[in-house]
Amino acid sequence: MAHPTDPRLTPLAQSLPATVPFVGPETQERTRGKPFAARLGANESGFGPSPRAIAALQSSAADIWQYPDPEAYDLRQALAAHHDIDAAHIMVGEGIDTLLGNLVRLIITSGDAVVTSAGAYPTFNYHVTGFGGVLHSVPYAGNHEDPDRLIAKAKEVGAKLIYIANPDNPMGSHHDAATLQRMISAVPDGCLLVLDEAYIDLAPDGTAPYVAPHDDRVIRMRTFSKAYGLAGARTGYAIGPAPLIAAFDRVRNHFGMNRSSQAAAIAALADQDWLAQVQGKVAACRDSLAAIARGNGLTPLPSATNFVTIDCGQDGTFARRVLVALGDAGIFVRMPFVAPHDRCIRVSCGPDAEIAAFAAALPQALASARSQE
Amino acid sequence: MAHPTDPRLTPLAQSLPATVPFVGPETQERTRGKPFAARLGANESGFGPSPRAIAALQSSAADIWQYPDPEAYDLRQALAAHHDIDAAHIMVGEGIDTLLGNLVRLIITSGDAVVTSAGAYPTFNYHVTGFGGVLHSVPYAGNHEDPDRLIAKAKEVGAKLIYIANPDNPMGSHHDAATLQRMISAVPDGCLLVLDEAYIDLAPDGTAPYVAPHDDRVIRMRTFSKAYGLAGARTGYAIGPAPLIAAFDRVRNHFGMNRSSQAAAIAALADQDWLAQVQGKVAACRDSLAAIARGNGLTPLPSATNFVTIDCGQDGTFARRVLVALGDAGIFVRMPFVAPHDRCIRVSCGPDAEIAAFAAALPQALASARSQE
């Protein structure tokens, strides 16, 4: 709903758009008047979290009257052991989005330059704009983010932050560790690389670069929302140099992390067998989605994530029609925002029944889109 | 741990203190090497949330793989019905702290003036400082915040925000609705009153002022952390004029609200019988705490909250010794930060066993404190 702007807002707040980065499927469901039959648009894990994480949520419910530990000490210790680093290198937050917001707030002030790829994560851009930063975008190289151009642009504009996701969303592509290590070694002085590894648990071995804990050229973002299946619990973490990690304490909401979510994340992390099962299911599902795409004359892109980006072979207008027709059929999927990637739709992996529903709906959705040409 | 400051931080971030507003009891427990026997320091509700809220947390655990509804639509609708206002006047966030942070970010930029009371909520001050605002404090009038002086100071310094909590924390006092209504009518043009009503559900009838939903002089903060017993679920909300509420969408983390917390809050709100039971238990417990204080020669202050602030009759040094001795005995309580309020300790209401543990420990704690004089 449009409102007149409150005149007490800061000039920066006055200048910000009223749009939001993502509309949730629940909003679409309310508009449709009925729920989606398949929820395959947000790269959630329909395979669910470890049963141990669910048990932790249930058993911790009785203690929910207590505030959370603002230090997330137990979770940070568990993560430190998992990564074999000191907990001083780890900050936990209410999802990567919150950590990105705090990071941008710490580093970016009015007019500071930030570099990202055109079509990369909109919520990062939202935070940069929200703190007065100036975004500079470089194109992807095909379906991959382009480390060399990101670095070159950062040098050109004197960027304080560079954002890259590896694996990438929305294209599903990835670079190998050596490529990322070359990129890290080229980060200009005074600049920080934000390496978003939300999908790293679903990528081939050898995708994650080795980064020394004290390396102050890079901060990594991880999440329990994807492979670990805890998107609703809002739990992410950053790994970085201790002085930068400590700086989060100057701006973050110390009591923002849900108490039960901390317990669930600890339980999820401890169940690496479950993670391995999910990785196997995701790999099989990627193959299924690729086969469905090919069976409909479309081109699935290789994926190192829990989704498959499907090239619909025409332009954004066509892909958008496919998306809308799928939505009308009860299939929630999303698509890249920016050309030329918006020739694609992006379909999350999920349980067989939901994938079957997508497979059943796709031919008619394509026919519908073609009929509108 | 002290770290060198990262040179990439903004000048504002560089200037911020590394201290945090509150240290959690878990940190103290780790230092002690054992848990507290009684958790009476954070004004949590040891009486717990509605069993329906616990059931909602447990039944929603299976859906935790899904992201939350970023609009918190169902919860906002339930709150709108509860308050008999339109949902456009309600913003849900991860506790009042998060909403205060977003509000300050929207309104305050470097050098803007903000007025509060010396010794009032430190987390509000943390956010003001965090966004470069300049805090101006006025003293309490005895054990009450002083609406007239807050308004006068706001006029004097051209404040953009005034903060008041009614009922007050840490003193437990309250003003009646008529006093607040006079205060609201005196808010200067261009200024906004932040009325923190975290404890309103525990105050006498007639404490909450009537505020027309479109009244743009005031924004109210409410929470499920206190009377509703859901502190760990991080769920608060703001009630205010629609243009200001809409502005939160420009800066907030849209997906920050835990999915299960939304379900729990809806269930808690629907169980007003449970709330009434808690109100009764809190009232009885306030009487118990007051009797314990008097039995030890101390002076309990009247309370409109779920805690009792106990005047220890000497200065901050003495009260701090009492606090430390209680902690050594396994009783977690807190105390006001600022003189002259720091002559007091602040004890939360809770179940009989915890109150009995406090009663058992207090005489020795007082003796210990007196022995150090």
Say if residues A373 and A338 touch (Cβ distance below 8 Å): no
* CA of B314 vs chain A CAs: smallest distance (Å): 31
Q: Which two tokens stand for residue B16?
A: 């911020």
Is the CB of residue B247 less than 8 Å away from at least one CB of chain A?
A: yes
Say if residues A316 and A343 touch (Cβ distance below 8 Å): yes
User: Is B250 close to A7, i.e. CB distance below 8 A?
Assistant: no
Query: What's the residue count for chain A?
Result: 373
* CA of B89 vs chain A CAs: smallest distance (Å): 12
Residue A1 has what pLDDT? 45
Q: Which two tokens stand for residue B123?
A: 């987390």
| pLDDT at residue A246 greater than cutoff 70 | yes
| pLDDT at residue A19 greater than cutoff 90 | no
Q: Which two tokens stand for residue A319?
A: 């892909």
**Nearest-CA neighbor of A311 among A173, A117, A123, A121?**
A173
> Residue A80 carries which side chain, given as an amino acid letter?
A
Q: Which two tokens stand for residue B187?
A: 């808010």
Residue A4 has what pLDDT? 75
Cα B348 from chain centre: 12
User: Is A5 close to B243, i.e. CB distance below 8 A?
Assistant: yes
At which residue do the structure tokens 């892909």 appear?
A319
Residue A70: closest CA among chain B residues belongs to which residue?
B24
Is the CB of residue B98 less than 8 Å away from at least one CB of chain A?
A: yes
Residue B233: closest CA among chain A residues belongs to which residue?
A258
**Nearest-CA neighbor of A237 among A363, A81, A54, A90?**
A90
* Residue ranges of domains in chain A, CATH in brackets: 11-48+273-371 (3.90.1150.10), 51-270 (3.40.640.10)
Find all residues with CB under 8 Å of B206, minimum gap 6, and list them.
B176, B177
What is the rounded CA–CA span in Å between residue A258 and residue B62? 17
User: Is B234 close to A258, i.e. CB distance below 8 A?
Assistant: yes
Q: Which two tokens stand for residue B176?
A: 């009646």
User: Is A101 close to B257, i.e. CB distance below 8 A?
Assistant: no
Q: Which two tokens stand for residue A161?
A: 């932050």
| CB < 8 Å to A44, chain B | 65-67
The beta-carbon neighbor of A258 closest among B10, B250, B261 is B261
Window 20-59 of B: residues touching A by CB (8 A cutoff) are 20-24, 26-27, 30, 39, 42, 44-49, 53-54, 57-58
Cα A314 from chain centre: 26
Stated as kind and residue range, the H or E segment containing A299 is strand A299-300
Query: What's the residue count for chain B?
Result: 373
* CA of B367 vs chain A CAs: smallest distance (Å): 30
Question: In Å, how far are A161, A192, A233, B233, B234 from B56, measured between CA atoms?
Answer: 41, 42, 14, 12, 15
Residue B1 has what pLDDT? 45
Mean pLDDT computed over A61-71 = 97
Find all residues with CB under 8 Å of B12, minimum gap 6, and list them.
A109, B110, B130, B131, B132
Window 311-330 of B: residues touching A by CB (8 A cutoff) are none
Window 187-246 of A: residues touching B by CB (8 A cutoff) are 190-192, 216, 225, 229-234, 241-244, 246
User: Is A71 close to B27, i.e. CB distance below 8 A?
Assistant: yes
Cα A93 from chain centre: 14
> Residue B351 carries which side chain, given as an amino acid letter?
P
Consecutive sets of 10 residues in chain B, 373 residues long: mean pLDDT of each?
A: 80 89 90 95 97 98 97 98 98 98 98 98 97 98 98 98 98 98 98 98 97 96 98 98 97 96 98 98 98 98 98 97 97 96 98 98 98 89
Q: What is the pLDDT of residues A167-219, one digit of tens each?
A: 999 999 999 999 999 999 999 999 999 999 999 999 999 999 999 999 999 99
What is the DSSP code string of A18-68?
S--S---HHHHHHHHTS--SEE-SS---TT-S-HHHHHHHHHHGGGTTSPP
Q: What is the pLDDT of residues A256-293, one digit of tens each?
A: 999 999 999 999 999 999 999 999 999 999 999 999 99
Q: Where are the alpha helices (DSSP H) in chain B?
A: 11-15, 25-32, 51-60, 73-83, 95-107, 122-130, 147-157, 177-185, 242-247, 259-270, 272-295, 316-328, 352-371
**Nearest-CA neighbor of A349 among A269, A284, A293, A297?**
A284
| CB < 8 Å to B26, chain A | 69, 71, 73
Question: In Å, how far are A52, A224, B52, B338 from A60, measured between CA atoms?
Answer: 12, 18, 15, 35
Mean pLDDT computed over A41-51 = 97
> Residue A39 carries which side chain, given as an amino acid letter?
R
Pairing of strands B161-165, B134-138: unpaired
Residue B3 has what pLDDT? 63
Residue A26: closest CA among chain B residues belongs to which residue?
B69
| pLDDT at residue A13 greater than cutoff 50 | yes
Q: What is the ipTM of this complex?
A: 0.97
**Number of Cβ pairs < 8 A linking chain A and chain B:** 275
Find all residues with CB under 8 Å of B224, minimum gap 6, and list them.
B49, B230, B233, B235, B236, B264, B265, B268, B269
Question: In Å, how far are A256, A316, B14, B236, B347 from B231, measured between CA atoms?
Answer: 10, 45, 31, 9, 17
